[in-house]
Structure 1
Amino acid sequence: MNKFPNAFVIILSVILFAWILTYIIPKGNYQRELDTINNRTIVVPDSYERKEAPHLSAFNALLAIPKGIAGRADLMVLILLLGGCFYLIEKTGALNQGLNKLITLLKGKEVFALSIIILLFLTAGATIGLQEEIIAMTPVLLLFGLTLGYNPSTIVTASYGSAVLGAAFSPFNPFGVVIAQKEAELELLSGTEYRLIILLIAAVVWTFYIVRYASKNRVEKAKLELDIEGLTARNKIILALLAFTFSVVTYGLIVLSWGFIEMSACFFGLGLVCGFIAGFDFNKTTEIYIDGFKEMIFACIVIGLANSISIIMSEGFIVDTIVFGLFSPLQNVPPSVSGVLMMISQAILHFPIPSYSGQAILTMPILTPLADLIGLSRQVCVLAYQYGAIMMDIIMPTNGSLMAVLALAGIKYNHWIKYIIKPTLLIMGIAAIAILIAVQFGYE
């Protein structure tokens, strides 16, 4: 096929497929109750039952699209404001000058530079679950990669892919392992040592694979339009403020429980201040900001459309049926096998549930008593969720962040899958071995 569908067409096709599934898969649901202590809704184990309900009409399926877009409004605001901020900083010349400085320092050390990118995003993924924020950074990352002679696939894997891997294998991802352990009634951050060992192994293998691929697929180095020997005083201040803002945001996420709204406010303010420092008048600053918004619109729509898929499957009452069908057979196999099959089931389930936090809240109350029943430790149950669900963010077309990054990088989805499937299977193999070992030594 010469012309593969773009991200917009792919997600619309998946939306149609999800709607068709609501006519094929039996409807059913688990009972839910309010946890007054934590003020959230939890799933009642062993409460699944078939449900009689009318099929989702074509109009309701269409309604899911604006609902999906509206439902991700906070994330879309972050992408627009963060993207506009980066675009404005780029127009000040600070980024180009900063990149020139980096390129000069890293001349002949391209492998070192690539390894640093991998390490930074692995750390960000492991600590704060960085993912959606990478969308706005992608244009700058691609430019930096091209100046070093690396193609878009290398840079997307080193940044977005590394963040996903870090989040999946993290001992302390607040949106992954912490939520899952809480739902499994485990001590928070327990079992950190083993998770950290597996994270280090996976990170080394991942880094080696990317560096090896990058060395075999170099491209001609791009030259920046702006070629200045040193940074101006104004641009030093701008880059310093950018670094400071990222530090403040990281602190806010970890310590102050910030969300997308607080992050958006920080970067919006940063953009305005940088425009003032660069000597732009207020009118020019806002015009550049608007141009930055335009660059991010497609990525935002992709995010919203991806959210529509889970809405359709939820309103069609088939998500709980899929959960029941995937996990019920596990009680009939040995614990070591069920641990690996649980990981695979979590990976499959991530198609209709692109939010891995939401997946933890849905599945862990169901899997915890099942794990107790078959003699599988709850800690292994959490491992299976981490490795299976979160790692799938690197390939699932229902993940709006992935599709947005690929769209900005100009990478067709079929080309991405052809490239990323090998390292993904390699990492999943490490995850499966880690689960088998954990079962054998009684990981608690």
Structure 2
Amino acid sequence: MKKTFPHPMIIMLTFVIISGIFTYLIQSGEYERIFDEETGREVVVPGSFHSIDDQNTSISDIILSVPEGLIEGADVIVLILLIGGAFYVIEKTGALQIGIEALIYTFRKNHFLLLFLVGLIFFMCGATIAMQEELIAMAPILILLSKKLHYDRRSIVALTLGSALVGGSFSPINPFGGLLALKIAEVDFNTGLIFRVIILLIIMVTWIVFHIKAGKNKLDQIEIPDFKPVSISTRHKIVLLVMTLGILAMGWGIAKHDWGYNQMSGLFFVVGITCGLIGKLGINGTAKTYTEGFGEMIFAGVIVGLARSIYYVLNQSSSIDPLIQGLFEPLQTLPTYAAAFGLFLSQMIIHIPVPSTSGQAVLTTPITAPLTDLLGISRLVAVMSYQYPAGLMDLITPTNGGMMAVIAAVGVNYKDWISYIWKSFLLLMVLGLISVILASVYFS
């Protein structure tokens, strides 16, 4: 009898329950925190950890964590619905399919170049604006690209979502990762910059080429269509132009004006309605299509909310800080190389219950930065040992709602995703660890 792998919702709910059980296994505790005016965030006061009255999670707390997680993730869920609805409208105008067919025809004799450009574009999006949730809405495009190129859709996800996550993991200019950690650790931006850029380029080429080679003829075995010239109408060109301008405007708003999810949601609501009208769907047709898009995206939104529920359970029971303390305290007695490895491994583990890379930076960097001082290691190592494993863990940890939502929207179950991605994930983890150890030698 064929065994069915658990539904993504069951996986997430299982982690919520495990988190609740975990609260009974450790004593609640917390660090003191102060507001850092320079970063505009609360930061942990090193050495301030202390136990508090145990705050175990009850069954009712676990049940309530589900709606609480959805409420906590409301801004992201709204982003998913509005951007997802917009792309659904754009897809229904026919512009996306025509555009992809034209792109494929242009590069019909060089699929490698086409896929490399796709990977490069999304890698840069991740490196500059930490793109992740925005890709949920692009699921129809990814599926279409997979079928048109006769490529494993998991490979297409790896070249888009994966490239964005890896780009954010190794980027020196990711505002939600590297830049934030550098500021908290009080490390000059230029420290080890050339070294980090070289690592970034090596990782980029390795990742993209790996998945271009791995994805050919694995899934979606369909008859390869004949490549025919494609003519894009003026109307479709305008729809694609509006879509492209919307994406560029979103990047500009995030980079220059510190846009949040609500600004991005509002922008793409306008983009979706505009494209529907230009695409001759009509006023009622555009509205109907947009609401149909909501239906396509609602499951992805629920997955994001359940990921927040896991953190909610651990945070409400004051279990996050004891986990941090337990992982970092033993490192103080280790040799330099072992301590660098320990920092890397600890940050990798911490990212499971703390799926926010910015949240993890704020939580751990104030602790690891002074620790590297005691170990005689550059504070740059504290930044790198957090950023690399934390970002890469987003590729596999089910507490990352964005990743879970994307693979669900594309129609890839978690088991198949892990079976495909684990080799490249381990390869990059090893390369990241080697770079951290080298940094501990050359920048100490």
| TM-score, length of structure 2 as denominator length | 0.96
Asked if 2 retains the 8 angstrom alpha-carbon contact of 1:76 and 1:303, the reply is yes
Asked if 2 retains the 8 angstrom alpha-carbon contact of 1:172 and 1:189, the reply is no
> Measured at CA, do residues 223 and 283 of structure 1 come closer, stay the same or move farther in structure 2, by a change above 3 Å?
farther
CA distance in 1, matches of 2:39, 2:408: 38
- After TM superposition, the structure 1 stretch with the greater mean CA deviation from structure 2, 356-365 or 108-117, is 108-117
Alignment partner, residue 31 of structure 2? 30
**1:158-307 alignment, distance < 5 Å:** 158-188=159-189, 190-215=191-216, 217=218, 219-221=220-222, 229-307=230-308
CA distance in 1, matches of 2:157, 2:37: 42
How many angstroms does 1:38 deviate by? 4.2
CA deviation string 1:293-338 (max 9, x = no partner): 1000000000000000001001111110110011111111111221
How many angstroms does 1:60 deviate by? 1.5
How many angstroms does 1:35 deviate by? 2.7
How many angstroms does 1:265 deviate by? 1.0
AA paired with 1:301?
Answer: V
CA distance in 1, matches of 2:111, 2:260: 35
AA paired with 1:110?
Answer: H
RMSD: 1.6
**1:241-390 alignment, distance < 5 Å:** 241-390=242-391
Alignment partner, residue 79 of structure 2? 78
CA distance in 2, matches of 1:279, 1:411: 33
AA paired with 1:283?
Answer: N
- After TM superposition, the structure 1 stretch with the greater mean CA deviation from structure 2, 374-383 or 50-59, is 50-59
> Measured at CA, do residues 219 and 414 of structure 1 come closer, stay the same or move farther in structure 2, by a change above 3 Å?
closer
Alignment partner, residue 144 of structure 1? 145
How many angstroms does 1:280 deviate by? 2.6
How many angstroms does 1:229 deviate by? 3.3
CA deviation string 1:174-200 (max 9, x = no partner): 000011111111224643211110011
Give the number of equivalent residue pairs: 441
Alignment partner, residue 108 of structure 1? 109
Asked if 1 retains the 8 angstrom alpha-carbon contact of 2:156 and 2:215, the reply is no
CA deviation string 1:388-432 (max 9, x = no partner): 111100000111011111211222212221221111111111111
CA deviation string 1:49-84 (max 9, x = no partner): 111134221111211111111111111111111111
CA distance in 1, matches of 2:101, 2:38: 53
Asked if 1 retains the 8 angstrom alpha-carbon contact of 2:150 and 2:217, the reply is no
CA distance in 2, matches of 1:232, 1:63: 51
Asked if 1 retains the 8 angstrom alpha-carbon contact of 2:94 and 2:236, the reply is yes
> Measured at CA, do residues 189 and 63 of structure 1 come closer, stay the same or move farther in structure 2, by a change above 3 Å?
farther
Asked if 2 retains the 8 angstrom alpha-carbon contact of 1:129 and 1:175, the reply is yes
**1:5-24 alignment, distance < 5 Å:** 5-24=6-25
Asked if 1 retains the 8 angstrom alpha-carbon contact of 2:116 and 2:209, the reply is no
How many angstroms does 1:25 deviate by? 1.6
AA paired with 1:173?
Answer: N
- After TM superposition, the structure 1 stretch with the greater mean CA deviation from structure 2, 242-251 or 284-293, is 242-251
**Does the residue aligned with 1:186 lie in a helix, a strand or coil?**
coil
How many angstroms does 1:108 deviate by? 2.6
CA distance in 2, matches of 1:222, 1:254: 43
Gaps of 5+ in 2: none
AA paired with 1:92?
Answer: T
Asked if 1 retains the 8 angstrom alpha-carbon contact of 2:123 and 2:163, the reply is yes
CA distance in 2, matches of 1:62, 1:148: 44
Alignment partner, residue 136 of structure 2? 135
Asked if 1 retains the 8 angstrom alpha-carbon contact of 2:105 and 2:230, the reply is no
How many angstroms does 1:48 deviate by? 0.7
CA distance in 1, matches of 2:258, 2:346: 31
How many angstroms does 1:220 deviate by? 3.6
CA distance in 2, matches of 1:245, 1:216: 33
Alignment partner, residue 426 of structure 2? 425
CA distance in 2, matches of 1:123, 1:101: 23
CA distance in 1, matches of 2:138, 2:399: 21
Asked if 2 retains the 8 angstrom alpha-carbon contact of 1:146 and 1:222, the reply is no
Alignment partner, residue 41 of structure 2? 40
How many angstroms does 1:359 deviate by? 0.3
CA distance in 1, matches of 2:55, 2:93: 56
CA distance in 2, matches of 1:108, 1:221: 19
CA distance in 2, matches of 1:384, 1:166: 16
Asked if 2 retains the 8 angstrom alpha-carbon contact of 1:147 and 1:222, the reply is no
CA distance in 2, matches of 1:209, 1:107: 21
**Does the residue aligned with 1:146 lie in a helix, a strand or coil?**
helix
> Measured at CA, do residues 139 and 65 of structure 1 come closer, stay the same or move farther in structure 2, by a change above 3 Å?
same
Asked if 2 retains the 8 angstrom alpha-carbon contact of 1:345 and 1:388, the reply is no
CA distance in 1, matches of 2:175, 2:36: 20
**Does the residue aligned with 2:43 lie in a helix, a strand or coil?**
strand
CA distance in 2, matches of 1:238, 1:79: 20
**Does the residue aligned with 1:108 lie in a helix, a strand or coil?**
coil
> Measured at CA, do residues 209 and 229 of structure 1 come closer, stay the same or move farther in structure 2, by a change above 3 Å?
closer
How many angstroms does 1:279 deviate by? 2.2
